[in-house]
Structure 1
C-alpha cells in the first residue's frame, strides 16, 4: 500500500528520492512527474523526478529555483489551487514563462519532459502552508478531469505533503537527540579528565565519534603569541600537522 509506505518512510532523503515514482505508479494514466519543494531561500527547487526522457543535470537542479508567481509552478505555489493544462505545447509555453535568471535552465528541463496529453499541477498543503508543487504528466489522451478527480488528487497530494513533513520532523528530532547525547558525553569526559591534555584528547574522541569520522583536531588560541595551535589531533597526515601546527590570528589581542 503506497499510503502506508509513504507514511512509514522516515528518512526524508529516501522518501523524496523515490516519491515521484510511487505516485506515478498509483495515479491512473500518469506516466511521469516532477516534485518541487520549498527550500531555505524561499523558492521552489526541483527535488525529484520520474519518467523523464533523460535525467536533468544535477547542477541545473541546484540552480533552478522558482519564486512565487514564476511560471506555472510559481503560479500554483502562489494561488494554492490545483490546475489542469491540456496539450504539451500549451504546458511548455506556460511553464516557460519565467525570469531571465532561470529561463535557460527551465528550457533545458522542459526538453526532458515527455510529450503529454495533459499536465496536472497540485499544491502540497500542510495546513495553510504550501511546501511544494507536484506535477503529473499523462502521456495518452485521458477523459476530462473533473472537480471530483482534482479533489481526489489534492487529497493524495496532501498525504504526500504530510509524509514529507513527518519525515523531516523525525530527522530534526533525531538530530536534536544526537546533539543532546553528544553534549552529555562531552560533559562526562570534561568532568572526569585529570588535566587539560586528557580533557582535550577525550573531547576530540567524542566529537569524532559523534561526527562518524576518524580525523580531526582541536586548536587552542594562544593570546600571548596571537596564534592558533593544534592541541590534539587524530588521523591527520604528519606533513599537514607540521605545516599547520600554528597559525597566526588576525586582530588577536
Structure 2
C-alpha cells in the first residue's frame, strides 16, 4: 500500500514538473516567467504562498521579485542580505532549508513590508544555474506543516528548472533593454541634430526617456539663472497639479539640491521623504520612487532630469548611469539649440537693422530734395519717422520676433505723432480702431511709416482755421488681405481742386506700392479726406 502511494506521489510530482517545465519554456518575459513559476509552484505543491528573490547586480542583496501570498506592494522593495533570514541562508549555503515553526528559528528574518506574520512554516531552496547562485525561492503555509523529503526534493527540482528559465529570461530582458537603450540614445542623437524648436525637442526626449527607463513619468526642469529657480519645461501628460507647480529655488527640495550640488539623488518614496516639496501632488498623481540627475554642460548645471516610478523601485547603478547619459545628451542638445537660436537672432537683428537703416537713408535723401523747408520742422519729421520704425521693434522685442500686432504698433505711432504735432494748442483727437491684424516686421514697418506720414499730413493741413477735429485710423480684414484707412473731418478740398503733392504723400505712395505691393487711393471732399491703403494678400 505504501509502495502504491509513493508511486502515485512520484507520478504526481513528475506531472507537476512537466507542467511547470512546459510553462517555463514557453515564457520569455522575465516578469511573466516569475509570476508563472510562483503561481504553478504554489498550485502543484498545495502551498499558501510561493515567493522568488533574485540577487541584485552587486551580489549583496536578495530582492523580492514575485510572490503569490506576500503583500504585492513588497515586490521590488523587500530585501534580504545574502545569508540573512532562512531564504538568504539557503541562497548563501546553496542548500534547502525547511522549518515548521519559522518564526522561532534563529535564522528567521521578519520583513514588515511583506506582512508574512500570517504564515507559520517555510521551505526555501537556492536558485543555482551553471554553478552560480542567482537567487532563492520559498513556499510557506499558514498552518503548522513539517516538510517531508519529497516536498524538499520537488521544490529543489522546480528550483533547478526555474533557475535556468530565469537566467534565460534575464538574458533576454538585458538584451531587449540594451537594444532599447541604444535605440533611445540614437533617437536622442537624431533629435539633437534635427531642426526642431527647443520645447518640441525636450518633449520628445522626456517621452523616449520614460520608455527606456520604464518610468511612470519623466520631467525636465531648466535653470533660470536670473531668478536662480528651476522651471518645468517638459513632461508627459500629467495632471495640472503637477504641471502648475511654482518654480523651485536652487537648493530647495530634491531637484533644487541636485541643481546646487551637481550630484544625482535617489529617493525610495517621494510621498514620505521630507526633502520632497510636494508629497500631496505625488500621492494624487501616483508617483513613488525618484531618480533626479543634473543636466550639465562644460561643468555648468543648466537644469535637472527627473525619473519617477509608480511603484517602489530600487534604481540600479546601470539605470543611474543610463539616465545620466541621457541627461548629458539632453544638456548638449539644449546648449546646441540655444546657440542656434542665438545665432539666428543675431542674423535676424542684423538683417532688420540693415533694412531699417536703408529705409532711414532713403527718407532723408527724399527730404533733401524738398526746397524751402524749415530745418527744425524737417528734423522733427525725420524723428517721427525713426520713432515709427522703433515702435515696430519695441513690439518685436516683447513678442520674440513673432508676427507684429499692427493695431498696437499704429497706436504707438499715433501717440508719438500727436505728442510732436505742429499745433499743440489745437484740440485734435486721434484714435486707432478696427480688426486685429498680425504682420511680418517688414510689412508692419512700411505701414507704420505710411500711417505716420498720413497722420502728420492731416495734422498739418486738414484743420487750417479750426481749433478742433478728429482723425481716425481704422483697420479692416478682407477675404484676401487687409485695408488701412486714415480719415479726417477737416476742411477737405473744394470740388475740382487738384490733390496736393507733398514729400510725405510721395513716401506713402512708395511704401504702399513698392514695399507692400498694395494700392493707395484718396477720397477728397468738403467733409474731410480719406486715405485708403489696400493690400490684397498679407505680406
TM-score normalized by structure 2?
0.36
**Deviation of the 1:108 alpha carbon:** 5.9
**Deviation of the 1:107 alpha carbon:** 5.3
Partner of 1:134: 305
Partner of 2:94: none
Partner of 1:156: 326
Q: Is the 8 A contact 1:37 1:131 kept in 2?
A: yes
Does 1:110 pair with 2:282?
yes
Partners of 2:249 and 2:387 in 1: CA distance? 48
Partners of 1:223 and 1:205 in 2: CA distance? 17
Q: Is the 8 A contact 1:33 1:51 kept in 2?
A: no
Cα gap change, 1:212 to 1:87, in 2 (>3 Å): closer
- Between 1:168-177 and 1:191-200, the stretch displaced more is 191-200
Q: Is the 8 A contact 1:83 1:122 kept in 2?
A: yes
Partners of 2:281 and 2:259 in 1: CA distance? 19
Partner of 2:61: none
Cα gap change, 1:15 to 1:235, in 2 (>3 Å): farther
**Deviation of the 1:2 alpha carbon:** 1.8
Q: Which has the larger radius of gyration?
A: 2
Partner of 1:169: 339
Partner of 1:8: 194
Partner of 1:68: 250
Partner of 2:275: 94
Q: Which runs of 5+ in 1 are unaligned?
A: 97-105, 243-253
**Deviation of the 1:123 alpha carbon:** 0.5
Q: Which has the higher contact order (CA 8 A, sep 6+)?
A: 1
Corresponding residue SS for 2:306? strand
Partners of 1:46 and 1:109 in 2: CA distance? 15
Does 1:84 pair with 2:275?
no
TM-score normalized by structure 1?
0.71
Partners of 1:69 and 1:33 in 2: CA distance? 21
Runs of 4 or more above 4 Å deviation: 140-144, 196-211, 223-226, 233-238
**Deviation of the 1:65 alpha carbon:** 1.7
Q: How many residues align?
A: 223
Partner of 2:233: 47
Does 1:222 pair with 2:420?
yes
Partners of 2:194 and 2:293 in 1: CA distance? 23
Q: What RMSD in Å do the two structures reach over aligned CA positions?
A: 3.9
Q: Which runs of 5+ in 2 are unaligned?
A: 1-185, 368-380, 431-450, 456-472, 477-483, 489-539
CA deviation map 1:42-77 (0-9, x unaligned): 11112222253x23476x34xx12222201111111
CA deviation map 1:209-242 (0-9, x unaligned): 975334322224529859xx9872886589xx99
